[in-house]
């Protein structure tokens, strides 16, 4: 059951659409510290919970969970809020 749902989810991912949307955005190119990297959130959502949500939904979950740590990092590196949050979705995609 989960395998079929996962395969259908993979078929629905618009890779070229995301590529076109995020490829020109090269703002957040530095390495993110481990505490705000999206990989653990990706595993939790897609692997552990088997929630096959679209990228926008995943990104909102990621932001909600990591907001304080993300803000702490953004302030530490001195990047303006507008630029950082424009580039972050492209960085974790």
pLDDT at position 66:
95
∠ Cα 8 13 17 (to 5°): 155
**Residue 11's pLDDT band (boundaries 50, 70, 90)?**
confident
pLDDT at position 16:
84
**Token pair belonging to 90:** 């492209």
CB 77, CB 69: distance < 8 Å? no
**Residue 29's pLDDT band (boundaries 50, 70, 90)?**
low
In terms of average pLDDT, the best of 1-5, 8-12, 71-75, 85-89 is 71-75
pTM: 0.71
Residue identified by tokens 């990297």 is: 37
- Cα-Cα-Cα-Cα torsion 86, 88, 92, 93, nearest 10 degrees, comes to 0
Residue 40's CB: how many other CB atoms inside 10 A?
A: 15
């Amino acid at each position: 059951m989960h395998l079929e749902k996962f395969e259908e989810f993979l078929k629905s991912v618009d890779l070229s659409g995301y590529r076109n949307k995020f490829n020109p955005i090269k703002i957040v190119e530095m390495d993110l510290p481990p505490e705000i990297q999206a990989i653990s959130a990706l595993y939790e959502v897609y692997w552990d919970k088997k929630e096959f949500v679209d990228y926008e939904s995943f990104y909102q979950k990621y932001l909600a969970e990591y907001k304080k740590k993300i803000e702490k990092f953004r302030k530490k590196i001195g990047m303006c809020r507008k630029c950082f949050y424009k580039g972050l979705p492209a960085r974790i995609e």
